[in-house]
Structure formats: structure tokens, C-alpha cells
Chain A
Amino acid sequence: MTLNRRNTVNADFTKEDLAFQDEARSFLDSEFPAEYRAKIDASKRLSKEEIVNWQKILYKKGWAAPSWPVEHGGTGWSQIQKHIFETEMGLIGAPEPVPFGMKMVAPIIMTYGSAEQKARFLPDILESNVWWCQGYSEPNSGSDLASLKTAAVRDGDHFIVNGAKTWNTYGQYADWIFCLVRTDNTVKKQEGISFLLIDMKSPGITLKPIYLIDGQPEVNEVFFDDVRVPADNLIGEENKGWTYAKVLLTHERTNIAGVPRGKRRLRALKRIAGETDDGFGNSMMDNQGFRNKLASIEIELQALEYAELRTLASISTGKAPGPESSILKIVGTELAQRIDKTFVELAGYHCLPYVPEQFEDGFQGTPLGPGNSAAAALTYFNNRKASIYGGSNEIQRNIICKAVLGL
């Protein structure tokens, strides 16, 4: 990938990049625990302990936070190297670090936080000692996030916080939450918002799990009832929170294309199709219609991969990720959902029983169908969220219309 150094278009890695790819591969081969890999291949969720343990393995290698500046513990990798590492992780199903601390709040603290705040919060994020969650969306503020109402009122050296946040992912595991709160009601809605860090153990915080359509309590509502938050936990200036958050939303949209994960799942589709009877004496890999479907997914993955590489090449020359990342979010999530649906089509009757225990540790029974076909429907249901979260795909299309097409 040296678009700026050669006369012709190419997507080659340099010798150094290839050496790095080898290093990343052998590290992941030896250090990503085999039992985690097996669980992910079987559509099982990793526990909190397993996720933290994996992140600590990355930390020990010094690879926990490739996107951070070196001075805070980042790797100093080029954009291409970061891409290579993410690709290698995705191809074997190794989870990227939970984004809320590492990718979402940390960049804000680094950019807008005080020296004390950096020293207090960043090392624990890097070492995965503290689990962060996000307090943005509210029941009446989804796509129109700036209309949020959770109020923080100054009381001496504290803020008193009242309100409710929703779609809070893994809040049940979290030690801290970063919130957008309203600190001024009298100005334009974007101008009265502040960015506040809140200890989840503070009196007055209650968590209510929200069960999603796959039956899992993956997200929560978080209620704030006269929660006292030290004013020291305010990031940057009061009423500037929206500006900070907008930067963060751009971060949320990078790496969302999910090409390596898509490739891994396409491999799984082919393998399971080979194990699935077509009912006429052959396997589903012998079914031409199904093969065409897989081919069409593979083609779309290639188009997406090169769209991502072109964006990457442009970032590598120093440009900030712009509205192009909206393309990656839209196509990445919609292609992932197409793959979800294809798993359902392949599974047929095998994905109808709702037996969530079979995806938990200690399940002794036999799987209900070939490969992980029994998980197909639940994954399909759960992942409908992908085109809704992180700025819904409608919002992403609006961004393209406004920022790219000038409409």
C-alpha cells in the first residue's frame, strides 16, 4: 500500500509490512487462547473475565492500544500496520479490545482532559483494570442525540446528575461511565452539553437490563437519581461536550467495515454448507443457487475491502477520516447482516429451537445442527442492531448526502 510512492496504483504491502504481518500472525497463533477461539467459532460469548484476560495479554505485549500515541502507551504503528493487525485479529475471531475505554473515552481524555485526568484514567484503561461504558443515547434521544435531557446542575464543587440513559452496552460489567449531560437549557441544544465521567458505584445510579430479541441482556437503561459527581470529573470546558463527542463519533465509525470478520464467516458458511445435507443426496455446497449466493457475498467483501484500503491510503497521507467512513459503516453492517441471513437460510429447521444454554459454558448436550447452525437465527436477530447503532445507517446516508454530494 504505497500509493504515494509509486507511479501506478497498487495495493502491495512493503517488505517491512509483510514482516510485521508475520509477527502479528505468530503472536496471535501462540497467544490468543485456543479455548477462546473455539468458543467464538461455536458462537459462544466470552465472559467478562475472558475478555479482560485477553486484553491483558495484549497489554503485556504492548499491543493493547494501537490507536494511542506512543507517549500514552500506543504502539507507534503506521495506519497500514494497524490495519494489518486488525485484519489478522478478525480473521481468527480474536476480539478487539472493548471500544468504550480504549477507543471512545481515552481519545477524548487525551485531547481535552487535564494532566491530572490523563494520569488518573489512562493507565487503567490501557491495562484493562477499569471497564468503561457509554452514556449517550436517551429514551427520547436516539438519532437526534443533541436533544438529550439528562441534567447536571452545579452544586459547589459537584454536579448533581438526574436523568436516564439507554442502550448502554455491558453496563453490568462497567466501573465507570462517560456521559453527555445537559448543563445549560437556555442556549442552542448543541451548546449546552457537557462531557462528564461518572463512577458507576456512585449512590443514586441504578441499572435495568434491556433484553433484546435474542433474549440476551446485552444493553441497559441507566438511571441517575441525584447522583453527586465531583466537578473534577468534567472533561474540558463546561458546555463544550458536543464538540468533543462529535470527534468521538468519528472514532466510533472507523474499523466498522468488518472485512476480516466477514471473510472468516464466509469460510464458516462454506464449511457448514459442506456439512449440510441438501435433502437430495448432496451437500448444500453442491447447490448452485447457494453457491451463487456465497459468490455474491465474496464479491461484495472484495469491493468493501478495496473501499476500505482506499480510505486507509488516504488517511495514511494525513487526511482525517471523513464521510468516507460512512460508506464503510453502511456497507460493512449491511453485508454482515446479509451473511447473518445466509446462515439462517443454510440452517433451515436447525435454527428454530430457542436453546440459549447451548451457547453457554458447561453445556453438555449435542449441538442441534451442523456446525453452529443452531445459533443462526439468534445471531440474525441480534445483529439487526448493527444498522441502528453507531449513528444509524439513515444518519450515515444523510452524512453522505450533505458532506459528499452537497445536497
Chain B
Amino acid sequence: MDFSYSEVQQMLQDSVQKFVQKSYDFTTRSKIIESEDGYSKENWRLFAELGWLAVPFTEEDGGLGGSAVDLIVMMEEFGKANLVEPFVATAVLSGGLISELSNGERKSELLEQLVTGKLQLACAYAEMGSRFNLAKVGTTATVQGDKVLINGKKIAVLNGSNADQLLVVARESGEDIDVDGISIFLVDAASEGLVINSFTNIDGKKSSEIVLENVSVPASSRLGDAGSALSALQKIVDRATVSVSAEAVGAMELLLQKTVEYSKTRKQFGTSIGTFQALQHRMADMFIECQLARSIVVMAAMRLDSAESDLEKTKAVSAAKSRVGEAIRKVGQESIQIHGGIGMTDELDVGHLFKRVTALDIMFGNADYHTERFASL
């Protein structure tokens, strides 16, 4: 048994930490969010140069190995940075689906462009009424000769506004929540009939609603076989779920650290508030939450890298997301409470980390959903 990071993992951690220290302070981040793209292209090029974009992929896909543990090492540091660059949307989610479903020359071309930073992607899976069920797909794909017509509306498409290509989940056959009949199409973002309505999310990331009205794509843009994309989608969303769980672990760790620091410097009643036992115990509880969240995320990542059955992997992912969601509630709320009024302000990074972890709790299913999924498996 050994939980220490490998040399490669330590190097990865160091390299993200150095980047954050040098180029990603609070003010810089705020400016990036206010910019039109909502992420920094310069940073993205740097991520490619440093090899970070290749981390989620196997060596045969031109990546650095694709281990889930490598991924969470990096995601945790991204969480501490409160990063807004679309790493999960492009590399983990969309890149993961291409890696799972595509093949041949197209696959290697797309992944090559992705890891070199030349391609932005987004995955459009969620819909108004789908909540967190990936099989609930109302968007339709109708074959017409060598074309496919796509109709529907997608929500919560992270990075939708910057994506060159969209991976659109659509139904070719079956009804409503059938597991069969779901395909994924690679759709050019400039396609006719595609309307992208974009926002900045509460945590500073870019997101879109996408309406597809008779969007016509060649049948060859289907990734994988017709109607059988759901299991790949579930597998990759599980990876993305562990990724955002690790991101939350990093952000919570920083929230704890900042809260403890503040309690040592903030003086009321002639002493630092950190000397009050009522607050000390609550910070001890925050520490425990962070440790349990970290532990279960490591467990889930190790399970994904193991030879266990798909069922065991999925259970581990839901266990992690559920427990992390619980930790998010406690650590997030206590961080604001112990900071008091100053924690409520937009000018302090604590509030922004709180908003990030709140958003991460929702992404790919909140604690309640994953508890239910765990119970049903």
C-alpha cells in the first residue's frame, strides 16, 4: 500500500503550482473572466506546451498515460487556482468521448489538435428536463440519406461559446429515457441552424444554452456506432465527475487554509477569533471534511484506474461525488461564516471559492443524485 505520488505526479503538481503562483492571482483571474472569451488563450497555449492537455489520454492516443490519479493531482491544483480555463469541457469530457468513440485518422487528428491547444470543444448532453440522467435525451437525430438532421435544445454546455466543435448527444431511436438509441455527433459550431446563447456561470466559467434547428451534418460526423453511445458517455462523465470532485477538494483545502489564517489575524474582544474554542472545533471539523473528501476521491480515481468491473467503478464515482457534496456544504458555508461580513464580499477570493464549490456540487449530479444512484446500483 502506498498513497504517495509518483515522480511524474509530483512534477505535474509542481508545474501547476508554479503556474498559479506566477500567472494566476485573483486580479488576473477576475480580468480573464471579464474578457470576451472568458478564458485566456495564452494560458491555454501554455497548458499545451506544458503537456497538461495530454494528461487525460493514453499513450496510444498521443497522451501521457491517461490515469485518473494523474488527472486528480492536476485537478486539485486547478481547484486551488479557481481556474476558469475549460480543461474539463475540452480535454476530459469532449476529448474523452473522442478517445472512446472515434477511431482511425479522424481520432488521431482531433486529439492531436486538442493536446496541442488548437481545438476547443464542448459536450452538449444536458437538457431542460434531463436533470442529471444522461439517458434522458429529447434531442433528435434523423437520418436523411448521407445527412443527419439534429433538432433540440441543450443546456449547461460548458465552454459552448468558445468551442470550435460541439459533441451533441442526440436520440436516433427509442423513447425518452431508453438507454439504446443515443448517438453523439461532432457538429461544427458555425453550422447553420445552431444558436448559441452564452453566459458566465456563478463560478466564472463560460456556459451556453444551445438550440439546434434542423442542423444538418454528414452521417460520418457520428462518433461510433448508431444508437450505442450511452455507455461511453456514462464512462466519460464518470471520469469528469471524479475530476470536478478533485477540483472541489483543492478549492476546499484553500478555503480551510484561508479561514484558519484569517481566524489568527482577525481580532475581536481583544484577541484573535481563532482562540475561541467554539470556532476552533468548527475548523477542526472543516479539516476532517477535507480529509474525508480527499480520501474518497483518491479511492474513486484508483478504482477507475483498476481492473474492477464497470459497476464497481461507477459506484465509487457516485460515492465520491456524494461525499464531496456533503463536504462542500459544510466547508463552504463555514468558511463564509467564520470570515463574517468580509467573507460575503466580492472583493475577497473566499466568496469566489465558495461559489466555485457550490457549482461543482451541481456539476454532473449533486450529492442527492449520487446518493440515490449509489443506492440503486
Contact = CB atoms under 8 A, between A and B. Distances in A.
Contacts of A362: none
Contacts of A394: 276, 278-279
25 contacts: A141-B268, A143-B268, A144-B269, A213-B345, A278-B131, A278-B133, A279-B131, A284-B131, A293-B368, A337-B333, A341-B329, A344-B362, A348-B132, A348-B362, A349-B156, A350-B155, A351-B202, A351-B362, A352-B156, A354-B202, A377-B202, A385-B344, A387-B337, A388-B341, A394-B279
Interface of A: 137, 140-144, 147, 166-167, 210-213, 215, 276-281, 284, 289-290, 293, 337, 341, 344-345, 348-355, 368-369, 377-378, 380-381, 384-385, 387-389, 392-394, 397
B104 interface: no
Contacts of B267: 140
A280 B136 contact: yes
Given A137-B341, A142-B268, A167-B341, A345 B366 contact: yes
Contact of A277 (B131, B270, B329): B131
The listed residue with most B CB atoms (<10 A of its CB), out of A213, A337, A350, is A213
A141 B129 CA distance: 48
B interface secondary structure, majority: mixed
Interface residues of B, number: 48
Interface stretch (B50-58, B139-147, B227-235, B350-358): B350-358
A213 B351 contact: yes
B371 A289 contact: yes
A351 B362 CA distance: 9
B176 interface: yes
Contact of B133 (A144, A280, A377): A280
Contact of B347 (A147, A211, A279): A211
A144 B268 contact: yes
A281 B340 contact: no
A395 B195 CA distance: 52
A355 B129 CA distance: 20
B145 to A, nearest CB: 33
Contacts of B354: 213, 381
B135 to A, nearest CB: 8
B214 interface: no
Nearest to B200: A354
Contacts of B209: 368
Given A213-B354, A279-B133, A289-B368, A378 B202 contact: yes
Contacts of A140: 267
B130 interface: yes
Contacts of B14: none
Contacts of A144: 268-270
Contacts of B310: none
A289 B366 CA distance: 13
B129 A279 contact: yes
Contacts of A369: 128
Nearest to A211: B346
Nearest to B130: A279
